[in-house]
Structure 1
Amino acid sequence: MNHGALTALQGRRMRQRIRVRPGIDQRSLDGGVPEYAVLMLIREATSDDLAAVEDLCDASDRPRWTAAMIAQSEHRVVFAAVSDDQVVGVAKTHFHPEPDGAAPAGHYLGGVVVTPNSRRLGIGSALTAARLEWIWAQSPSAYYFANEHNTASIQMHEALGFRPRGRFKEIRGVTADDGQAELILFEVSR
C-alpha cells in the first residue's frame, strides 16, 4: 500500500496534504508545501455528520446514506474527510463473517462518496488508505469489488495494491448494471 501521502496518523485521526494541481509531485518540492496544497482531516464519522453526508450524497446523485449506515461498530468503520470544516468525502467498511459463494469471509471496503468539486484530488485514496489501516488492525487481508466499467475506482485500488481475484455476475447480493455487467472481486494483503 502507498503510505507516502499520509503525513500523520494519530489513532484513527489522520491529516493528509492533497495536491490540488494535477501533475505536481510533492516529493520533488524538498519537503515544502506549495501554497495550493489543502489540509484535510480524516476522522471517524459521527451521527452529527448525517446531514452533511446526506448533502454529499445528493450532490453526487447517489442514494442517501442513513444513520444506520454511518453508525460505528467493532466490526466496521465509517470515515469522513473534512476540509475547511466541510465534509467532502465519506467511506465505510463492511465485515462479512461467512463466505458467500465465491466471496470470502472478511473485511470489505464499502462505498465511497466524494463531493463532485473535490474529485480527483486524492480524497478517495486518503479515505481508502484510512480504511485499510483500520482493517490491518483487524485482519491481514481486505476485499473490494467494483463494476467492471468503474475504471477510476479500479485504477485507484490497483495503485493501492489490490489484485483481481475473479469476475462474477453477483457478489454478496450485488449486481452490476442490472446483471448486464460483471463485478470484479479484488484482494489485498498486508
Structure 2
Amino acid sequence: MELCVRPARVEDVDGLLAFGMTVVVRTADDWLRAIQLCEEGSRVLHVAVVDGVIAGFGQAHRLDSDGDHGQEGYYLTGVTVLPPYRRQGLAQELTHPRLDWIRERADAAWCFVNATNDASLRLHEKLGFTEVARATSIHGVTFDGGQGVLMRHTFT
C-alpha cells in the first residue's frame, strides 16, 4: 500500500465527491470553497491517497463559542475514511498534520465525537484528548444515539 497524506488540491474535488457527504460538504462548489479557505489559511483539509485513490480526508478550523456546549477554539472537524480503507491507521495519519496546524495557532485542540463511535473515541484518547463534557448537541451537531462527547487536547 502506497500512502500519501497531503493538503487537498483543486484536482482532488472529484475524488472528494465520492464520499457523498450530506452534512457539511455536498457539492463540487462546496469542496472548492473549503480548499479556497485552506489557501487563505482559515482551515486545513488533508487527503489520504492510497495507491492513487483518495481514501480519506480530515479537516480542522476555528469555531466560535455558540452557547451549545461548544467552546471557542480550533477543532478537528471531521475525519472520514472510505469503508475499504478503514482500520488501517488512515484516520490517525490524517490527524497528525491537523494537530500540527492547530498547534501553530493555539494552546489546545478540540473535537466532538458521537458517544457511540468507539473507534473515534479510542483514537482521540490515544492522541491525548480527554473528555470535557457530554451533550445532545455540540456546535449545532446532533448525534445518532443522542449524545456527543466534547474532548480537548492541551499541547505541552
**Matches of 2:79 and 2:10, distance apart in 1:** 17
RMSD: 1.5
Amino acid at match of 2:153: V
- Tell me if 1:140 matches 2:107: yes
Per the alignment, residue 65 of structure 2 pairs with 99
- Tell me if 1:69 matches 2:34: yes
Which structure 1 residue ranges, 4+ long, deviate > 3 Å from structure 2? Answer: none
**Matches of 1:141 and 1:166, distance apart in 2:** 16
Q: Which of 79, 86, 96 is residue 53 of structure 2 equivalent to?
A: 86
Amino acid at match of 2:127: L
Could you list the runs of 5+ residues in structure 1 that have no partner in the other structure? 1-37
**Matches of 2:149 and 2:84, distance apart in 1:** 28
TM-fit CA distance, 1:47: 1.6
- Tell me if 1:172 matches 2:125: no
TM-fit CA distance, 1:39: 3.6
Answer whether contact 1:88 1:118 (CA < 8 A) is retained: yes
**Matches of 1:151 and 1:124, distance apart in 2:** 13
Query: Can you list the C-alpha shifts for 1:2-56, whole angstroms capped at 9, x where unaligned?
Result: xxxxxxxxxxxxxxxxxxxxxxxxxxxxxxxxxxxx342111001210100111x
**Matches of 2:35 and 2:122, distance apart in 1:** 26
Q: Which moved more, 1:138-147 or 1:64-73?
A: 64-73
**Matches of 2:147 and 2:15, distance apart in 1:** 32
Counterpart of 1:113 in 2: which secondary structure? strand
What is the TM-score normalised by the length of structure 1? 0.72
Counterpart of 1:77 in 2: which secondary structure? strand
- Tell me if 1:120 matches 2:87: yes
Task: Spell out the pairing of 1:6-85 with structure 2 (5 A cutoff).
Answer: 38-55=1-18, 57-58=19-20, 62-63=21-22, 64=26, 66-67=30-31, 68-71=33-36, 72=38, 73-85=40-52
Per the alignment, residue 18 of structure 1 pairs with none
What is the TM-score normalised by the length of structure 2? 0.86
